[in-house]
Structure 1
Amino acid sequence: MLAARRRHVGSTTGTVGTRRTGSARRTRGTWPHAVTAVTGVVLLAGLVTACAVLPVAAPSHRPSPSPTPVVLNGPKPTSFAFLRAPRNAVRGDGLIASQRTLVTHLDVPWGVAFLPDGSALVTERAKRRILRVGPRRTASGELTVTPLTSVEGVYSNNEGGLLGIAASPRFARDKTVFVYYTTKVDNRIARMRLVGPRPRPEAIVTGIPLAGVHNGGRLAFGPDGYLYASTGDASRAGASQDVRNLGGKILRMTTDGKPPPGNPFPGSLVWSYGHRNPEGMAWDASGRMYVAEIGEAMWDELNLVLPGRNYGWPKVQGMGRMAGMTNPVAVWRPEVGVTDGIAIIGHAAIITCLRGQRIYLVDLGRPIDFASTRIVGTGTGEASIRWRPAAGVLGRPLAALVGKYGRLRAAVVAPDGSVWLTTSNRDGRNQPVAEDDRIIRLTLRPAAMPGATGGSGVTPGPTAGPTRGPARSPLPSPMHSPMPSPMQSPTVR
């Protein structure tokens, strides 16, 4: 193994255990506002047996204010150094067809929601702004970026601020968006009509637990037409197991913030519980819901979420065999993770990582057998990764874009079938470069395997109302065949 020096960004030491949030580990019940600068960082590049060094220095001060957003018309070199991958590493970069920087000079772009005309609404966490990207172009052919409004009442406290955003399925008619944000007393969900000079948020759900960390915050409309929200445990782990508490949950609601028919707990918004800090949500073409979740010091998780299920936190981290708990479908170490966003194209799940500064490509093409408890794993220590073939994961998740763009946060499928990724290098946990933060447009190659067919799968957008069946993908999947396996003989546990 290559020699390396270790650095934990924004970490402190204490006598009572540690808890990790974002890219750092911290003493329970506290958060370090001063960042300790130490040299080096250990990140896993190949996800097999070797380590490499990514030279990212910890900031000794807050990043300088970002200038006016700029949209670029073509690929842009990055200032982040690539990791030196060992020869025997299997990476997913070969499955990426194109990558292109669309927007630069943003300030922690957190949520992305596409509108019917192809433009996107983007939230900036600390600046409390909603931006509109496109669809118009300048004379040079570049997309335009327009600040729309600042959301009143938002309180930016470390991981809190203006977080998720989702456009109404009837946006062309009602001009309504939904936002998740932090106030001084709670996290809440509000709807806003984007009309007039100063749209005002109208709260539809209040009382979601608040803390400096673990606020959750993702919003998305499911294929059933209802609004889903991810909430964090707000550093109070016991809240996750209490179905009367809105913390550490996936919530499902109407556009009025009420429990819709079919929720598993009568009169409750709770769809699933036992989560720590889920921040990514997506559905596949069969209507199955997947959630990317930031774990503590042991494992980050990809969960297949079913109504009424208990996903274990804080009783179980990662894979376990405790009665009544639902295992993740894949887990990896926080050193190469801090899993945040997820987008699904055909059978391919694209999962972003903050601390790991990469994406994972997970092939979800295997039929699901919920009765099986088989767990497959490879690697040791920071190289450990586990998955459940019977839960639909076809092979070991593959890393790509390692270290290229820094911390990666949101992942959202665009109307053209590409995926937009946002960086999070101005959040105080990395040293930003001049272009940060940015939005990257990513496309995947069709699988070049025997028997595979071409095409780009597109996950359908939300429907205008509840549907009677799962959403269907109108185009072929870009990953009909298994992705290459990095190990011939995985360990079975």
Structure 2
Amino acid sequence: MKTAGKKLAAILMTTVCLGILSACEANESAGPQTSMNAPTGLVTEQPAETMPAKETPEPEEDGVAFTVLAQELRVPWVIAFEQDIVYISEREGNIVKVDGSSMTRQTVHLNKKVKHAGEGGFLGFLLAPDFAKTRLAYAYHTYEEKGQTLNRVVILKQNGEQWDEVRPLLEGIPGAANHDGGRMAIGPDGRLYVTTGDAQQRELAQDKGSLAGKILRMTLDGKVPEDNPFSGSFVYSYGHRNPQGLVWNHEDIMFNTEHGPSGNPGGHDEINIIEAGGNYGWPDIYGDTEKDGMITPIFHTGEKAIAPSGVTMDENNRMLIATLVGAALYRYDPATKDMSVIFRGEGRLRDVKMKDGRIYVITNNTDGRGTPSQNDDRLLLLKAVE
């Protein structure tokens, strides 16, 4: 077994080894996959759809009250902020803009059509650091080419109430009905990080020549950084099954959460400290199993599956994790090693973000695996979380 070495030991023994609240599971579901084929993208001429947002206090759940900021979202995936404006990607291929009490569904024009089926579709979405000036953003979406399901990373530009593809940064990432990854984040080093799933081909996770089952790292203009661990390759770490959470603590240590195996055994969702060039073992090891040259997780869920998705860090260096099967927002405190549910009762949660000390979450009950209410899915603002 390979450990994270002296650096990891120092992190774990001194500063809050920000352990990340772990989450999850293998596939995102506790039941059979429902396939949804409603591809959009590729120059559609539908006008932006405007509808009122909702700001209504809801009853407390587990001691936490919340306000509904937007509703009737269509399989939302990620939250992004431009000051007080919230943008939310939808898996069928749109971006929803929530500005105060107004909510506008904006069309995305892509050069390759979004393939919205299973866990695939229009997934990761991230505003460029200079978005206020350039109106540029990054997106990750599934598409089909020559009969193959693939994923790509593109640059978009906001033009009025629509988004247009500027150019692709990376294409041909293996995809499938399940295990498409899709989380994107800009690290403290100013590089763009992208998670990819194993595309239901387990062996690809150990193949450093494949982009599947990896965390990728690139410059903001899509080039391979010279200090990447494998010369000429976007691969930053490998041996991943379906990573859907990326975050850095206040000491700039990188963590991920990812789904463990399905079936029997199940569960074993992981929290990992990510090192350049690290091999995280899938499919050879998971949970407490060990193998020379492979890094074991700092936390796993045992046989319980919660299916972690979006993650964020709070002001006290604790990880907040939105979970799908777990249907709750979890918090892991590395100082006390306590992992607890801080919010539940609204079904599957796909993403969580913090802004100005406030916690925002999106539900994911319309993804074919949940039980949606009449107003699902929704953007919620939590109140007074201790």
Instruction: Tell me the TM-score normalised to structure 1 length.
Output: 0.64
The 5 Å alignment of 1:130-149 reads: 130-134=95-99, 137=100, 143-149=101-107
Q: Which of 336, 344, 364 is equivalent to 1:424?
A: 364
Partner SS, residue 238 of structure 1: helix
Residue equivalent to 2:374: 434
1:235-286 CA distances to partner (integer Å, 9 max, x unpaired)?
0011111111111111111122111232111111111111100111111111
Residue equivalent to 1:397: 339
Residue 124 (str. 1) matches residue 90 (str. 2): yes
Q: 2:238 and 2:305 mapped to 1: Cα distance?
A: 25
The gaps in structure 1 that reach 5 residues or longer are 1-18, 35-66, 83-92, 138-142, 366-393, 447-493
Partner SS, residue 144 of structure 2: coil
Residue equivalent to 1:161: 121
Runs (4+) of structure 1 exceeding 4 A deviation are: 31-34, 67-70, 333-336, 443-446
Partner SS, residue 132 of structure 2: helix
Q: 1:250 and 1:285 mapped to 2: Cα distance?
A: 21
Displacement of 1:70 after TM fit? 4.5
Residue equivalent to 1:23: 29
Q: 2:284 and 2:31 mapped to 1: Cα distance?
A: 19
Q: 2:276 and 2:334 mapped to 1: Cα distance?
A: 20
Identity %: 36
Please tell me whether the aligned partners of residues 295 and 334 of structure 1 are also in contact (alpha carbons under 8 angstroms).
Answer: no
How big is the alpha-carbon RMSD for the aligned residues of Structure 1 and Structure 2? 2.3
Residue equivalent to 1:261: 226
Displacement of 1:99 after TM fit? 3.1
Displacement of 1:215 after TM fit? 0.4
Please tell me whether the aligned partners of residues 334 and 356 of structure 1 are also in contact (alpha carbons under 8 angstroms).
Answer: no
Residue equivalent to 1:410: 351
Residue 216 (str. 1) matches residue 216 (str. 2): no
Q: 2:250 and 2:176 mapped to 1: Cα distance?
A: 35
1:289-336 CA distances to partner (integer Å, 9 max, x unpaired)?
121111112311111211111111101112333221112122115644
Displacement of 1:396 after TM fit? 3.3
Change (3 A) 1:193 1:334: farther
Q: 2:35 and 2:89 mapped to 1: Cα distance?
A: 23
Partner SS, residue 204 of structure 2: helix
The gaps in structure 2 that reach 5 residues or longer are 1-24, 37-48
Residue 362 (str. 1) matches residue 362 (str. 2): no
> What letter matches 1:215 in structure 2?
D
Q: 1:334 and 1:112 mapped to 2: Cα distance?
A: 30
Residue equivalent to 2:138: 178
Change (3 A) 1:405 1:195: same
Q: 2:280 and 2:245 mapped to 1: Cα distance?
A: 15
Displacement of 1:400 after TM fit? 3.1
> What letter matches 1:219 in structure 2?
M
1:168-214 CA distances to partner (integer Å, 9 max, x unpaired)?
01111111000000011310000011125654222110011010110
1:131-168 CA distances to partner (integer Å, 9 max, x unpaired)?
1112xx3xxxxx32122322432110111110010110
Change (3 A) 1:72 1:184: same
Change (3 A) 1:222 1:272: same
Q: From the two aligned structures, give the one with the greater strand fraction.
A: 2
Residue equivalent to 1:302: 271
1:376-420 CA distances to partner (integer Å, 9 max, x unpaired)?
xxxxxxxxxxxxxxxxxx313112324x01011111222x12222
Residue 317 (str. 1) matches residue 286 (str. 2): yes
Q: 1:118 and 1:172 mapped to 2: Cα distance?
A: 13
Q: 2:272 and 2:87 mapped to 1: Cα distance?
A: 27
Q: 1:219 and 1:360 mapped to 2: Cα distance?
A: 21
Residue equivalent to 1:281: 246
Which structure has the greater CA radius of gyration? 1
Q: 2:378 and 2:51 mapped to 1: Cα distance?
A: 9
Partner SS, residue 200 of structure 1: strand
Please tell me whether the aligned partners of residues 298 and 317 of structure 1 are also in contact (alpha carbons under 8 angstroms).
Answer: no
Q: 2:155 and 2:191 mapped to 1: Cα distance?
A: 14
Residue 349 (str. 1) matches residue 319 (str. 2): yes
Residue equivalent to 2:46: none
> What letter matches 1:440 in structure 2?
L
Residue 100 (str. 1) matches residue 61 (str. 2): no
Residue equivalent to 1:226: 191
